[in-house]
A = this chain, B = another copy of it.
Amino acid sequence: MLRGNCLVAQSGGPTSVINGSLYGVITQALKENSFGKILGGIHGIKGILEGKIKDLTEVSMDLLEKVKLSPSAALGSCRYKLKDPRESTEEYEKLFKVFDENNVRYFFYIGGNDSMDSAYKIDMYAKKVGYDIKVIGIPKTIDNDLMHTDHCPGYGSVAKYVATVCMELALDSAVYGTGVINVLEVMGRNTGWIAGSAALAKEKIPDLNMLIYMPEIVFDEEKFLNDLKKAFETNNHLFVVVSEGLVNKDGDYVFNRKNSYKKDIFGHIQLGGVGDYIEQLIKANVYDKVKLTRLGFLQRCAMHYVSKTDLDEAVMAGEMAIKYALEGISGKMVTLVREDGPDYRCSTGLVELDKVCNYEKKVPLEWINEDGNFVNNDFMDYVRPLVVGEAEVPMHNGLPVYTRLF
């Protein structure tokens, strides 16, 4: 029995494996054979509002396999905030007209906090107006800051990338045997999950002299400089990892260059640049030879080096979204559940969308060392299995074969 069409879209900043979830949704939908058409929304809710919908029902498996192993969001993305339907219904009327015209009865939204907010509002409005649709959120974020899921698809790959980059930069800068302080600026907005993953490099290079500063710990300039001076005295080849979202005791971002305070449409402050500030601070107070690396967008699109565990779980989250929807579930996000036991195994669960949207999961303080400048073994136990395995990206004449659907 065909139960109407399903629509899938992607939203927010891409991760290296966000297309894994798209692949999971489409391939599982094809397998279930329960839908009329499988539709893709181009540029997320924003594009859907404009009627930008592409029929993916006949898309070849060959192309889907390439999509799975391509960086960025293959359907395009958006940063678009739906209004509260209790305040204004205009957008929703437009959106549900598009849904109705396309007989959309299942909607899958792959995204982070803000995307879950949109999914939640769509589900709420549908219930209010009696439009029969199942809405399922599929988590993605390199920041790993979604609540009620053990971790987020996208995080394992950025952790693997960051740790490897730390190893490579540390070895590279050690060649002269002279003093040098590496500064690596990583993303993560208000949480230290990405910064903490750098500690994996120290497990591989035990004499690596590394300090990690995360937004969970108030940044105190004096303590920071004392930490560095002490560490540098012991070993003048020092590696400092800083999260873009470090905050001081007043709750302000440490890096407050005026134009860094432009807010995006969600009210988030656009970050970036804390590395330059830290570099100057170190040069003026600790040591003159500083090598700054700002990973920027590289860390969220390095498909050439993703974690296979992460990619597999991204696919699983997409597949399970289809299964849950066909069970009649709506208004929930798929979660990743870490099974008990000595070996790492991951299954899925569900959580209400409104328990996810607009919250942020921080690194537990008990996973951070007493000095507030490194993570402890609980964090390591958590992150270690997430980076395992390599995915084989199709290559042609030495370069990857990437694709997209829009």
A400: which of B167, B294, B301 is its contact (CB, 8 Å)? B167
Q: Is the CB of A304 within 8 A of B77?
A: no
Residues from chain B with a CB closer than 8 A to the CB of A78 are: 176
A305: which of B72, B173, B304 is its contact (CB, 8 Å)? B304
Q: Is the CB of B297 within 8 A of A294?
A: no
Q: Measured between alpha carbons, how far is A258 from B335 in the docked complex, in Å?
A: 52
Residue A61 CB within 8 A of the other chain? no
Q: Is the CB of A388 within 8 A of B398?
A: yes
In the complex, the chain B residue whose C-beta lies closest to that of A156 is B398
Q: Is the CB of B293 within 8 A of A73?
A: no
**Interface 9-mer from A88-96, A157-165, A362-370:** A157-165
Q: Measured between alpha carbons, how far is A175 from B176 in the docked complex, in Å?
A: 42
Q: Is the CB of B176 within 8 A of A302?
A: no
Residue A137 CB within 8 A of the other chain? no
Chain A residues numbered 347-406 whose CB sits less than 8 Å from any CB in chain B: 384, 387-390, 395-402, 404, 406
What size tier do the contact residues of chain A reach?
35 or more
Q: Which of A70, A200, A296 has the largest count of B CB atoms less than 10 A from its CB? A: A296
Residue A59 CB within 8 A of the other chain? no
Q: Is the CB of B293 within 8 A of A72?
A: no
Q: Is the CB of B388 within 8 A of A168?
A: no
Main secondary structure of the interface of A (DSSP, over half): mixed
Q: Is the CB of A302 within 8 A of B168?
A: yes
Q: Is the CB of A177 within 8 A of B76?
A: yes
Residues from chain B with a CB closer than 8 A to the CB of A291 are: 296-297
A77: which of B176, B294, B390, B400 is its contact (CB, 8 Å)? B176
Q: Is the CB of A171 within 8 A of B387?
A: no
- Contacts A305-B305, A395-B390 hold; do A404 and B172 have CB atoms under 8 A apart? no
In the complex, the chain B residue whose C-beta lies closest to that of A302 is B168
Q: Is the CB of A72 within 8 A of B171?
A: yes
Q: Measured between alpha carbons, how far is A163 from B400 in the docked complex, in Å?
A: 10
Residues from chain B with a CB closer than 8 A to the CB of A47 are: 177
Taking Cβ atoms with an 8 Å cutoff, the residues of A that contact B are 10, 14, 42-43, 47, 70-73, 76-79, 160, 163-165, 167-169, 171-177, 200-201, 204-205, 291-294, 296-298, 300-305, 307, 309, 384, 387-390, 395-402, 404, 406
Q: Which 9 A-B pairs have the closest CB atoms?
A: A72-B171, A387-B398, A388-B398, A172-B301, A77-B175, A168-B301, A72-B172, A73-B175, A71-B168
